[in-house]
Amino acid sequence: MSFAQVLLENVVRVAKEHNAKRVKYIQISIGNMLMLNPEQLKFCFDVIAKGTVAENAELEVEVVKAKIRCMMCGKDFEEFVGICDECGGIVTVEGGKDMILKKVEMEV
Amino acid sequence: MHKIEVDAEIDLLEENRRLAEENRKILKEKGIVTINIMGAIGSGKTLLIERTVQSLKDFKIGAILGDVIAKDDYKRIAKYGVKAVPLNTGKECHLDAHLVHHALEDFELDGLDVLFIENVGNLICPVDFDLGEDYRVVMVSVTEGDDVVAKHPEIFRLADVIIINKIALADAVEADVDKMFKDAKRLNPNAKIIRMDLKRGIGFDEWMEWLKCVLQSRGRS
C-alpha cells in the first residue's frame, strides 16, 4: 500500500505540473527483489486513485530482474540463494530494488 | 482537449532514501549507534530491548517503539527510565524514514549513546524501508516454524545480526534449530547469528558481546 501511495503522489504531482484534466495511462518498473505482486499493486492503486485525477488510469507494471551472481565462479541465478551450489562461493545481488515511474499519459 | 505523454523517469523510492540518509547524518553527528530491530510478532523484540536496557546501565539509551496500535511496548521500555517514544503506524505494517524523522524530534539527542528502533512485527514489509540505522537485527523464534528463515530470504540477507530465539522450546514445537541456523548462514554468511532463549538467559551474553564491540568501535565504552 505504501508503494501505491508514493506512486499516486508522484502521478498527481506530474499531472498538476502539466495542468492535466485526466491521467489515462501510467507505466512503471519495479525491481523483483522488492517482492511486490504487480496485481496487488494495481489493485491498491485503483482503490486509492478514486476521486483523484488518476482515477481509472491504466497502470502497466514492468518487473526488472536483479543480477544474482556468484562472486567466485560467475554462475547466474534466477532467485537469491546465498551460497553457490556449484562452487560454494558467495552469491551477490545487484539491483532489483528500484521503483521507477517511467511514463504518464494525460489529457490536458 | 489533447493527449500528452511525459517520460517521467522518477525514482519513486528516492524520498525514503533521502530521509533515511538525513536521519543517518543527524545520528552519526551525535555519535549515536542506531539499531533497527525487526522480527515477527511475539519473536521477543521488546524483551530483548528490555534486557539490554537493564544491563547497559552505564549508557544513555533511547528507544522508538513502532506498533500498529497501542502503547504496550512503549510502557514496557519506559518503566526503566530510558527515553522512549511510541510510534503508532495505524494501518501501515512497517516504519519508514519519515516517521522516524519525526520521532527523532522528540529526543534530546545530545549525550545519547544508543538508539533502538523496534520495527512493526513483520518479516516482509520493513525490508525495503531504510530508517537511517547503522545495524539491522532480525529476530525470529522457533515457534514460528523452522522454515521461517528460508521463507523470508530478503530480510535475512540484509541483516547484520540474526537471532533465533526461544530455542528451549524447540523440542516442544518440533523445530530444528540447526536447520534455522544453516538457512541463516546460507542466506547471509557475514551476519552474526545467535541461538538464544531470552527468558532463560541463553545467548544473551553473546548478543551483549556483539553490542559492546559495536559501541567500543564507535568510541562509546
Residue A8 forms contact with B (CB below 8 Å)? no
| pLDDT score recorded for residue B106 | 86
Domains of chain B plus CATH, in order, are 14-216 (3.40.50.300)
Characterise B113 by phi-psi region: left (phi > 0), alpha (psi -120 to 50), beta (else). alpha
Helix (H/G/I), strand (E/B), else coil: A105 = strand
Residue A2 in contact with residue A75, Cβ under 8 Å?
no
Whether residue B92 and residue A100 make contact (CB cut-off 8 A), yes or no, is: no
Instruction: List the single residue in B with minimal CA-CA distance to A84.
Output: B186
Domain chopping of chain A, boundaries: 2-66+95-107
Residue of B1, B2, B3 to mutate, testing the A interface (most A Cβ within 10 Å of its Cβ)? B3
Per-residue confidence band for B221, with pLDDT thresholds at 50, 70 and 90:
low
List pLDDT tens digits, range B95-129.
Answer: 889 999 999 988 889 989 999 999 988 888 888 89
| pLDDT score recorded for residue B193 | 98
Strands A67-70 and A76-77: antiparallel
Please state which of the ranges A21-30, A55-64, B8-17 shows the lowest mean pLDDT.
B8-17
Please state which of the ranges A12-21, A55-64, B83-92, B205-214 shows the lowest mean pLDDT.
B83-92
**String of DSSP letters for B51-114:** HHHHH-TTS-EEEEEEESS-SHHHHHHHTTT-EEEEEE-TT-SS--HHHHHHHHTTS--TT--E
Assigned CATH for A2-66+95-107: 3.30.2320.50
CA proximity to B104, closest of B66, B142, B64, B71:
B64
CA proximity to A5, closest of B48, B93, B173, B31:
B93
List pLDDT tens digits, range B33-80.
Answer: 999 999 999 999 999 999 999 999 899 999 999 887 778 888 889 888
